[in-house]
Structures are given as C-alpha cells and as structure tokens.
C-alpha cells in the first residue's frame, strides 16, 4: 500500500512538472518534438532528489560553460564505481546527444528511466545504468527548424557542432573541447563494461528503422571480440526482431545503393566507440534512420536500450570475464596493430531489406537522378565485407619518455589516468628515436586541425638527454592501447597526426648562401660519399640542378651543421630494463 501511495505521488509530481509544456517529458516525442536540454536536466535532477537509487554527478564544464552531468541508477543505492564493481555489477554507459540534431537517445533514455522507476520495467539485478542526458549541450541549445535537412522530425532539433563548431564524435582522442575533457574524466572514473552511443543515420534508404555499429571485431581484444560475436550480438539482433525492430549492420555502402554491397565501419579512436574499445569495453552505436518518423525512431532506440539491459544481465558473467581477460592480456601483449585496412579478399553476405535504386530525370538539373522506390522493396543477399587486417604493427617498448615540454600530450595522459613517473634528475638514456621521413597533410582543415596521414618513420638508437621532471610511461598497464595508439606516430589517430608535435617539422637553423658556399665546397671535398650522391641527384633532377638554393640546402642538411632535432619525434622509446632512474 505504501508503494502504491508513493507511485501516485510520483505520478502527480510528473503531471505537474509537465504542465508548462502540456506534456510529460517521456511523452513529448509522440508529438514530433524532442525534449529540450533544460527539460532533460530537470527530469534527471528531480528523479535524483526524490529517489535514493538515483544520483546526478558533474564531471566538469563543457565549451558553453554548462556542466557535463551523469545520471546513475543503481538498485542498491550505491554510487561509487569501485563499490559497484566490487559487488559484481555490470555498468552500462549510455551517451546521448553527441549530435543534438539526432536526439532519439535523449528521449529514449528518459522513457527508459521513467519506466524503470515506475515499475513498468524491472531493473535487472547487478546492472548499473549510467546516462549522459545530453553530451553536446552547446549544440542542443542551438535549436532550429533547418538543422537536419531531409530528416523526418523532430521539430527544431539541435545543431551538430558544439560551441567551438567541433564535431564531438571526432574529438575523443584529440580532446580539444571541454566536453571531451569532461567526458574523459567521467569515462575513466566509471570504466563502463558496455558503452552505447545513440545516433541517427542518413545515406541510403532501406526498410530498417535501426542499424547498429559494434566496434570492429578484428581490432577488439580476442576475448571481447569472441564474446561480442558469438554471444552478445546474436541475442541483441534476435531480441530486437522480436520487439518489432529488426536490425542490420550500419549501412556503409560501396556505391549509391546497398545492393552493390557494404563494409563494416572502422571506428578509430577519434570516435566514441573507437575510444571505448581502447579500454576493452563492449561498444555500440545505435543508428536509427532519419527518413523514419521521429516517434518510431525513439521507440526503436528505447527497444534497443531495454534489450541491452536484459541481454547484458543475462550475459553479465561472460562480459565481465572477457573484460578481465582482455585487461590482463593487454598488459603482457608485445605486438600492437596501429593501422588497419579492409581485407577485400574476404567477402561474406548478409540478408538485406532495401528498396530498389532507380533513375528519373531531375526537375532541378535536367539530368538523371537516383531515388529509392518504396514501390519496389526487396529482401536479398548482398556482399558484406567485415574483416580488417593489420597494415602497420609495432613491437611495444618497455616504456616511453615524454619530455615535459609537450604539456598538451602530458595533460591528455593525465586525463586518461595513465600511470606516469617523473625523472628525478637530468640524465642521458639510450633511446629508440623516430625521425619523420614522410607524411601527407590534408589541404583543408578537419575539426580544427590539418591532419597528417601516411606517416613514414626511420627508427634510430641515440643517447638522448632528458630533464628532471620528464615523464616515464611504462607499458605494463591496462591502458596500453591508449598509450600506444596515441604515442606511436604512425597510428591512425596518434597525437602526431593531430598536430600535437608539429613544432618538430620546422627547421630552425639555416645559413646565408654566400657564406655557406665556401663551407659547402669544403664539405664536398672531404666527403666522397656525399659528393657522389650530390652529383647523382644533379644528374637525375634537372630542377634541382638549376636551383642553387636547393643544392646548398641539400649539402647543409647532410652536414654537421644540420640540427639533430629537425623531424625528430620527441617521444623516446626505451627498450630493455635498468636504464631509467626515476
């Protein structure tokens, strides 16, 4: 009777709280409107104020000055991640509104929480739910009718970019935004077992309301990949079909139409799930289809979240065991792949429910245009490539040394709780050092950077002078993947590729040509090998042979005058033991 009385009071409270909008937050989506940031925050704060099993935490500000908050629901009223893990609970982290024009998860999480706390759904035993109500608060406050062209609702969604016009789903490694820094604190504090990032997809048209990205199987640890592929995913797919929302993998097509085939999506650490994979989580992205009605998309996202709770509860022992094994293995692992490429020699097939791609004349251009005909649905097998192979592999060192001068890199290591020690005194250590020998740089800015790629390095042994206070990072940590994939310059999302070390790419010391002429002549007289190489280059390169500055520069850069620090990657690799005095 007491519980019924509380439920009546709870319902009355929410009827009153929804009076300003005429609708309770968990019902708003039915009228093709999404919950606003203020409504979402109020919903979770009010729940936490009235329910001992709920709490809201703040993990620092976002770029618009508002705090990044986390709502936690634990059936035993425990809110310490360490205590929760000690109880054997599985932690599911749900991230919403990273792209506020895709707000399905914001509404779906509110419905889910409402149903759990009113008894419509039962919170499974040993499951703790952590929800980021709105991650891109900045973009969520920037609402407009025209933010998502072609999307079928809701009215006036938020904007994709944040207050700095960054796409936050490209910011997890580089951590330019305050949002990402606060997220990192949150993520590393809770170390979730399962991570779900909610999205809406554009692109090709097809029959599914929901498609799914699970972190690419080949780059996951073997233990997690096996559990994901053989246990977790099959049940999620079966249960979603039973819920009336049959899924397929994220539609990443080869051409305009899925019937030509599609490939698995490789989400590197710049993306939410790629970042989560570095820490041996089970990461997912839900992708509802933008052409479906907004209420239908919210219901599909709700169905997935509900299904994830029950499935993870069922497989809790397997999930936790796989994570434990992965964490132990990564500490001992010697070789790491830092670049992956699609293996086009392995082609599977999947059953796909799409619409025929057809052509008709464009009313705008007068040329042929493609469209998907809903009068011609199909169900057929299509090619599907989901295997990636190692393109670049490295042997891990015993440790890395980061000179303290590179403070932006050190700060990101600290944010990620990487264990570091500091040298006690100035010292010289024999180190493996990379020289950057080639790289490409994008011609246009991408998320605030001119990103490098296709990096080629030369590795040499040098006696390197380090200073007291420089940082030593040993590679015997559960965080080894983060360490290696940020500090190895050839890794796809390495800090080098995000321009954190661009200072080394500029030569600082030069020469006066009229002064260096005599020195250059003397250098060639005394270095037969250099003279031979120089003459060969002149003979093979007419432009070089006709450019006196280029020829003098060539000699200068092969002389003792050329600075050793130019193109020398500053992070040292230490191999063996006994060299470091910490």
Full-model pTM = 0.93
User: Over its length of 582 residues, how does the chain's per-residue pLDDT go in tens digits?
Assistant: 444 443 434 344 333 433 344 689 999 999 999 999 999 999 999 999 999 999 999 999 999 999 999 999 999 999 999 999 999 999 999 999 999 999 999 999 999 999 999 999 999 999 999 999 999 999 999 998 888 999 999 999 999 999 999 999 999 999 999 999 999 999 999 999 999 999 999 989 999 999 999 999 999 999 999 999 999 999 999 999 999 999 999 999 977 899 889 999 999 999 999 999 999 999 999 999 999 999 999 999 999 999 999 999 999 999 999 999 999 999 999 999 999 999 999 999 999 999 999 999 999 999 999 999 999 999 999 999 999 999 999 999 999 999 999 999 999 999 999 999 999 999 999 999 999 999 999 999 999 999 999 999 999 999 999 999 999 999 999 999 999 999 999 999 999 999 999 999 998 889 999 999 999 999 999 999 999 999 999 999 999 999 999 999 999 889 999 898 899 999 999 998 655 555
Residue 42 CA to residue 29 CA, distance in Å, equals 17
pLDDT of residue 256: 82
427-483, pLDDT tens digit by residue? 999 999 999 999 999 999 999 999 999 999 999 999 999 999 999 999 999 999 999
Residue 545 CA to residue 372 CA, distance in Å, equals 58
For the sheet with 471-474, list strands across it.
421-422, 471-474, 399-402, 572-574, 427-441, 452-466
Place of tokens 């590393």: 188
Which pair of tokens denotes residue 67? 């705090």
Cα Rg of the chain (Å, integer): 28
pLDDT of residue 27: 95
Q: What is the CA 308 to chain-centroid distance, rounded?
A: 21
For 202-294, strand residue ranges (E) read 210-214, 247-249, 262-263, 282-289
Strand 572-574 to 399-402 pairing: antiparallel
Residue 493 CA to residue 483 CA, distance in Å, equals 12
Residue 74 CA to residue 77 CA, distance in Å, equals 5
pLDDT of residue 564: 87
334-370 CB burial, b ≥16 within 10 A, e <16:
eebbbbbebeeeeeeeeebebbebeeeeeeeeeeeee
pLDDT of residue 355: 97
Residue 279 CA to residue 265 CA, distance in Å, equals 19
Residue 295 CA to residue 531 CA, distance in Å, equals 75
- SS3 (DSSP) at 477: coil
pLDDT of residue 576: 81
For the sheet with 127-132, list strands across it.
54-61, 67-73, 127-132, 90-95, 194-201, 282-289, 210-214, 247-249
pLDDT of residue 22: 63
Superfamily (CATH) of domain 2-334: Zn peptidases (3.40.630.10)
Specify whether the CB–CB gap between 301 and 210 falls below 8 A: yes
Residue 545 CA to residue 537 CA, distance in Å, equals 8
- What's the residue count for the chain? 582
* Domain boundaries along the sequence of the chain: 2-334, 350-389, 390-507+566-574, 513-557
pLDDT of residue 15: 37
485-509, pLDDT tens digit by residue? 999 999 999 999 999 999 999 988 8
């Amino acid at each position: 009777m007491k519980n019924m009385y509380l439920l009546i009071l709870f319902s009355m409270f929410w009827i009153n709280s929804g009076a300003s909008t005429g609708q309770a937050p968990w019902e708003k989506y039915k009228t093709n409107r999404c919950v606003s940031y203020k409504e979402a925050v109020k919903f979770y704060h009010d729940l936490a104020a009235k329910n001992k099993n709920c709490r809201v935490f703040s993990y620092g500000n976002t770029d618009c000055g508002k705090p990044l908050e986390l709502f936690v629901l634990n059936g035993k009223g425990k809110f310490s991640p360490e205590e929760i893990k000690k109880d054997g609970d599985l932690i599911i982290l749900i991230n919403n509104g990273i792209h506020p024009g895709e707000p399905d998860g914001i509404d779906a999480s509110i419905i889910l929480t409402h149903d759990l706390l009113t008894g419509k759904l039962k919170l499974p035993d040993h499951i703790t739910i952590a929800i980021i109500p709105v991650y891109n608060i900045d973009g969520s406050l920037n609402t407009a009718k025209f933010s998502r062209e072609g999307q079928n609702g809701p009215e006036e969604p938020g904007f994709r970019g944040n207050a700095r016009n960054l796409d936050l789903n490209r910011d997890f490694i580089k951590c330019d935004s305050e949002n990402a820094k606060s997220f990192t604190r949150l993520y590393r504090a809770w170390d979730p077992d399962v991570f779900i990032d909610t999205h809406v997809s554009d692109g090709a048209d097809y029959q599914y309301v929901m498609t799914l990205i699970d972190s690419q199987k080949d780059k996951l640890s073997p233990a997690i990949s096996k559990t994901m592929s053989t246990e977790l995913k099959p049940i999620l797919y079966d249960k979603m079909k039973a819920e009336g929302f049959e899924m397929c993998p994220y539609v990443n097509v080869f051409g305009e139409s899925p019937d030509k085939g599609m490939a698995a999506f490789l989400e590197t650490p710049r993306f939410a799930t790629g970042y989560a994979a570095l820490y041996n989580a089970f990461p997912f992205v839900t992708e509802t289809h933008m052409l479906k009605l907004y209420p239908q998309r919210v219901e599909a996202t709700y169905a997935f979240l509900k299904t994830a709770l029950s499935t993870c509860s069922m497989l809790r022992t397997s999930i936790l065991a796989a994570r434990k094994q992965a964490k132990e293995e990564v500490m001992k692992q010697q070789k790491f792949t830092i670049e992956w490429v699609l293996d086009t020699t392995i082609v599977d097939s999947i059953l796909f429910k799409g619409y025929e791609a057809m052509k008709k004349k464009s009313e705008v251009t007068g040329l042929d245009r493609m469209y998907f005909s809903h009068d011609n649905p199909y169900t057929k097998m299509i090619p599907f490539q989901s295997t990636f192979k190692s393109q670049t592999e490295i042997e891990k060192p015993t440790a890395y040394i980061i000179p303290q001068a590179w403070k932006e890199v050190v700060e990101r290591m600290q944010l990620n709780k990487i264990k570091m020690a500091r040298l006690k005194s100035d010292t010289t250590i024999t180190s493996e050092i990379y020289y950057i020998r080639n790289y490409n740089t994008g011609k246009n800015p991408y998320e605030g950077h001119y990103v490098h790629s296709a990096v080629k390095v030369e590795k040499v042994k040098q006696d390197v002078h380090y200073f007291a206070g420089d940082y030593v990072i040993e590679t015997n940590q559960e965080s080894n993947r983060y360490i290696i994939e940020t500090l190895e310059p050839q890794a796809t999302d390495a800090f080098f590729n995000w321009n954190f070390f661009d200072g080394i790419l500029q030569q600082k010391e030069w020469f006066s040509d009229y002064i260096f002429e005599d020195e250059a002549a003397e250098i060639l007289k005394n270095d037969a090998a250099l003279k031979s190489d120089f003459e060969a280059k002149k003979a093979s390169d007419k432009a070089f042979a006709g450019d006196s500055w280029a020829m003098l520069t060539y000699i200068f850069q092969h002389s003792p005058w050329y600075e050793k620090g130019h193109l020398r990657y500053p992070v040292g690799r230490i191999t063996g033991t006994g060299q470091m005095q910490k």
